């Protein structure tokens, strides 16, 4: 997918969220709310190292079950920005 198309889709998604939220979104973007409220995807914070047996996985998307899992260990170091980035990436 071209960068321009990605940017257009992201802009459309943000507009959809703003319409439903009834307020203008300003940074920091409420990524978790957009995932759950606009996309209808469940967001879970879990120990992915324990589940997957790997220590280098920050997030995992399960498309068929509409679930995004984010490694809860990201919260240990006060990495809220990294959590938001991982959610957005997934």
3-state helix, strand, coil in the chain (%, to 5): 55, 15, 30
- Top pLDDT among 80 and 47 is at 47
- Name the band, by pLDDT with cuts 50, 70 and 90, for residue 86: very high
**Residue numbers of the domain that contains 53:** 3-89
44-61 pLDDT, tens digit each:
999 999 999 998 999 999
Helix or strand run (H / E) with residue 10: helix 3-21
Number of domains in the chain: 1
């Amino acid at each position: 997918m071209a960068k321009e198309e990605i940017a257009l889709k992201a802009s459309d998604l943000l507009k959809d969220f703003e319409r439903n939220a009834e307020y203008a979104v300003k940074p920091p973007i409420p990524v978790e709310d957009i995932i759950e409220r606009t996309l209808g995807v469940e967001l879970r914070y879990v120990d992915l190292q324990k589940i997957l047996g790997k220590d280098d996985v920050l997030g995992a998307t399960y498309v068929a079950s509409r679930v995004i899992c984010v490694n809860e260990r990201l919260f240990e170091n006060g990495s809220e920005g990294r959590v938001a980035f991982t959610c957005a990436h997934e």
